[in-house]
A = this chain, B = another copy of it.
Amino acid sequence: MPPPRITKPIYFGPFLVTSQVFHTTPHTFALVNLKPILPGHVLISPHRRVPRLRDLTPAEISDLFLTVQRVSRMIERVFNATALNIAVQDGADAGQSVPHFHAHVIPRREGDLEGGGDAVYRLMEGEEGDVGGHLEERERERGRGREERSDGVQTGRRRGQFPAVDADEVRKPRSEEEMRREAEWFAEEMEKENA
Task: Give A72 to B88 CA distance when docked, in angstroms.
Answer: 12
| Closest beta carbon of chain B to A154's beta carbon, Å | 16
Count chain B CB atoms within 10 A of each CB in A54, A61, A94 and give the residue with the most: A94
Main secondary structure of the interface of A (DSSP, over half): mixed
Q: Is the CB of B66 within 8 A of A118?
A: no
Cβ of A185 < 8 Å from any Cβ of B? no
Of A1-9, A13-21, A22-30, A158-166, the one contacting chain B is: A158-166
- Closest chain B residue to A97, Cβ basis: B117
Q: Which of A88, A93, A116, A160 has the most CB of B within 10 A?
A: A93
A108 touches B122 (CB 8 A): no
A181 to B172, CA, bound (A): 51
Q: How distant is the Cα of A158 from the Cα of B91 in the complex, in angstroms?
A: 29
Q: Are B73 and A84 in contact (CB under 8 A)?
A: no
Q: How many angstroms between the C-alpha atoms of A95 and B83 in the bound complex?
A: 9
Q: Are A160 and B118 touching (Cβ within 8 A)?
A: yes
**CA A105 to CA B116, docked complex, whole Å:** 22
**6 A–B contacts from the bound complex (CB under 8 Å):** A56-B69, A61-B69, A82-B92, A84-B90, A84-B91, A93-B109
